[in-house]
Structure 1
Amino acid sequence: MTERKPPGMTFETWIDKQIRTAQERGDFDDLPGAGKPLPGAGKPHDELWWVKNYIQREGLSAEALLPTPVQLRKEIQRLPDTVRELPSEQAVRETVEELNRRIVDWLRAPSGPQVPVGPVDAEAVVQQWRADRQAAQRRAAATAPVEQPATPSRRPRWWHRFTRRVRSSG
């Protein structure tokens, strides 16, 4: 083992031997992607290619990579749109409560950049939700077609006259 490799002789390492025997057995035949270029070959080098592939493969948004305080700030900004379609005041309060719980958890052990984030006022969100809901109802009422009441006919139909006679005679 301590001898040097003589010049001109090939020296096969253990790894090279494993690869060679696997090739001889045909372990590398018919692999998926055989004969195709490597993914990303020919494109400019991107150091974050693996992150982009992970986001695409898992169906995540790029927001998942943001620091926690920035994610929380974005959620606070989107809160009116988030609660607008909720069916009840209780559901709005629960949504705000869940967001506030995550904000308080972050405030107890902050990490990442120091972005000012504070709990959301649930009463203000509920009040805005009510105002938005009333405005939507007014718009719907204004755009809804007005139904004309059916005008009653002047003469009752013949079967009504007939049933009145039968009842009065019987």
Structure 2
Amino acid sequence: MTYSDAFLTRVLRRTKTIAIVGISAKEIRPSFYVARYLQLKGYRIIPVNPGLVGQKVLGEEVYADLASIPHDLDMVDIFRRSDAVPEIVDNALGRWPNLQTIWMQIGVEHEEAAKIATARGVDVIQNKCPKMEYQRLFGELRMGGFNTGMISSKL
């Protein structure tokens, strides 16, 4: 699956509120630091993890599932195995008829669920990370010499 930079940029610019399904409270977990990064960029993060209900992650109340969230969402970001995607997508589409985006993290794909969401007018991104795409598209990749503006080797 390939997505144009214009498409990914449009998704990231229009999004304001993101449910992170499968978020961890452990700072070393990818779901935590992706959520933290996105929050630092101005997105409202709504954490979803049934094992953390009653707690706060990144200052936000954790919800057991999408149906429990009383807020409107623009995007659902899925940090779960691919076999969990259909139920998450069904719940998201049933709860928010105006949902704009389903984003599946790196390694997460489900073509049938993607087709259902797309048929409902929802943009679907699979096997990508919004944090990495944000960094790439908005000139923030700095690790490993990417876009640092500095030459690290001398002749």
Calculate the TM-score normalised by the size of structure 2: 0.22
Higher strand fraction: Structure 1 or Structure 2?
A: 2
Greater helix proportion: 1
